[in-house]
């Protein structure tokens, strides 16, 4: 009798643990909110001003397990969607001097790891593919939050991220020899709806 009770307790504990692990290991899929997702860059212009632009056509997927503090991001940016507010500058950005959008219509950031400090997301290490080359980039999380979105009737998670990269690693060498900076601040503003 005692052994039967002990066996029942062990089985019940195992079932509870398995259920807890299953709930814990179930990341959710999130659909990118196109209205609140875009990529940006900023680069110094002769020490006098900062040239800024954004890419408005962004797609991709997000998986996030809030309990485990884990997830994955796969973001694809259409390089021809670059917009600086200057038609002439936008046209130049699309040429082979810079983003070469005819030969490289997309750039992509892929990450399979989120880094948390307690409950706060601090960085997203990943790989950036630009101009046909892929190199590691770690996006720092400036802010990140999940909240109930009334419009979408589901949870939304979003954040603002940035990194400083050396553009020459991807072969973007335009005017570097005459003093144009290598360093470019890139940013990603991402919001996504839980599916």
Q: Are 136 and 152 in contact (CB under 8 A)?
A: no
Question: Which residues make Cβ contacts (< 8 Å) with residue 135, sequence separation at least 6?
Answer: 127, 128, 169, 170
Q: What distance in Å separates the CA atoms of residue 96 and residue 36, rounded to the nearest whole number?
A: 29
pLDDT of residue 27: 87
pLDDT of residue 18: 42
**Residue for token pair 């290991």:** 25
Torsion of CA 172, 41, 66, 156, to 10 degrees: -130
pLDDT of residue 31: 94
From first to last of its 195 residues, the chain has per-residue pLDDT tens of 544 454 444 444 444 444 444 444 578 999 999 999 999 999 999 889 999 999 999 999 999 998 999 999 999 999 999 999 999 999 999 999 999 999 999 999 999 999 999 999 999 999 999 999 999 999 999 999 999 999 999 999 999 999 999 999 999 999 999 999 999 999 999 999 999
**Residue for token pair 């990118």:** 32
**Residue for token pair 């991709």:** 60
Q: Are 65 and 73 in contact (CB under 8 A)?
A: no
CB atoms within 10 A of CB 91: 10
Q: What distance in Å separates the CA atoms of residue 119 and residue 173, rounded to the nearest whole number?
A: 40
26-194 CATH, one of 2.60.40.1730, 3.30.70.3450, 2.40.128.110, 3.10.105.10:
2.40.128.110
């Amino acid at each position: 009798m005692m052994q039967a009770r002990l066996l029942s307790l062990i089985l019940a504990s195992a079932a509870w643990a398995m259920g807890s692990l299953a709930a814990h290991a179930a990341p959710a899929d999130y659909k990118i909110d196109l209205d609140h997702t875009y990529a940006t860059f900023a680069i110094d212009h002769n020490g006098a001003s900062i040239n800024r632009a954004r890419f408005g056509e962004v797609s991709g997927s997000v998986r996030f397990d809030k309990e485990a503090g884990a997830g994955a991001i796969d973001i694809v940016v259409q390089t021809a969607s670059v917009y600086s507010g200057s038609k002439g500058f936008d046209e130049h950005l699309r040429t082979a001097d810079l983003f070469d959008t005819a030969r490289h219509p997309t750039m992509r950031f892929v990450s399979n790891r989120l880094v948390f400090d307690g409950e706060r997301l601090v960085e997203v290490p990943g790989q950036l593919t630009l101009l046909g080359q892929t190199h590691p980039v770690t996006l720092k999380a400036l802010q990140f939050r999940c909240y109930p979105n009334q419009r979408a009737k589901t949870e939304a998670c979003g954040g603002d991220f940035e990194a400083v990269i050396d553009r020459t690693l991807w072969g973007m060498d335009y005017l570097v020899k005459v003093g144009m900076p290598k360093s470019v601040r890139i940013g990603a503003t991402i919001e996504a709806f839980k599916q």
